[in-house]
Amino acid sequence: MVYFIAKIVIPPIYKLWLRKVDGLDNIPKDKPFIIAANHSSYYDALLIPCIILPRLNKKIHAMANSYYWKPFLTRFFLNLWEAVPVYVEKEKNSKEKNKAAFEKAINYLKNNELIMIFPEGARSHEGKLKKAYTGVARLALAAKVPVLPFGIIDAYKVLQKGKMLPRFIRCEVRVGKLIYFDKFYNKKINKRMLEGVTKKIMKEIAKLIGQDYNY
């Protein structure tokens, strides 16, 4: 049901606020990959599936803050979507829960499905890139899959912080080329490696949206 909605029902609605999408030919059809995108609005969460799902017969599993599993309505749809919760450190047993979530994400990728991550971890309400967490790098190296960068421009203007209804402004999406990290696959993962891989991913996203990433 959720994929029928994402493929058939939602895309025509979302296109009302979408000016154009560049780089659709960069979306591979024959392999699993991780989608990494900048995040400035709640509008982003369904925008990417609305672009990819009509073109691929694959499931997309978002990695999202476990906070959104607390309200019944969002929990219902996240579970229906088979999203993966990520727990903050202050939550009880967060380390064990995140380990299980990480393994679940790897299994989805091994099953030729897709994972969607917003590396910044939270919305940037002015559209300016924030420092990213290294989770996307850790998952890419552990699962040995490439990362597909998405750049979303002006989504924060569509649905602003504190607003319930979108404004009549259109955003733009640019899809980059797959980023491979084969040279790291047979090496021991360390902090420096994770930070380097994360920086490369974020710099590619920055290029797509015309910004710099200097963290």
For residues 42-59, give the mean pLDDT.
89
Comparing 72 with 110, the larger pLDDT belongs to: 110
Measured CA distances, 155 to 41, 46, 126, 195 (Å) = 6, 12, 10, 27
Residue 100 has a pLDDT of: 93
Domains of the chain: 2-209 (3.40.1130.10)
What is the average pLDDT across 130-139?
Answer: 96
23/1 Cα distance (integer angstroms): 28
Residues listed for the chain: 215
pLDDT at 118 over 90: yes
Q: Which of 145, 88, 92, 141 is nearest to 115 (CA)?
A: 145
Q: What is the mean pLDDT of residues 42-57?
A: 88
Confidence at 57, pLDDT banded by 50, 70, 90: confident
Query: According to the model, what pLDDT value does residue 95 have?
Result: 85
Tell me the sheet residues that pair with 34: 115, 147
Does position 178 have pLDDT exceeding 70, yes or no?
A: yes
Locate 31 and state its tokens.
């392999």
| Residue 144 binned pLDDT confidence (cut-offs 50, 70, 90) | very high
Strand stretches in 14-121, DSSP E: 18-22, 34-37, 60-65, 84-86, 114-117
Average pLDDT over residues 58-71: 91
Is the pLDDT at 25 greater than 90? The verdict is yes
Question: Which residues lie below 8 Å from residue 32, measured CB to CB, with a gap of 6+?
Answer: 58, 108, 109, 110, 111, 112, 113, 114, 143, 145
Strands 18-22 and 34-37: unpaired
What are the pLDDT digits (tens) for 97-109? 899 999 999 999 9
User: Does the pLDDT value for residue 7 go beyond 70?
Assistant: no
Q: Span 177-205, mean pLDDT?
A: 95
The CA-based angle 88-83-55, given to 5 degrees, is 135
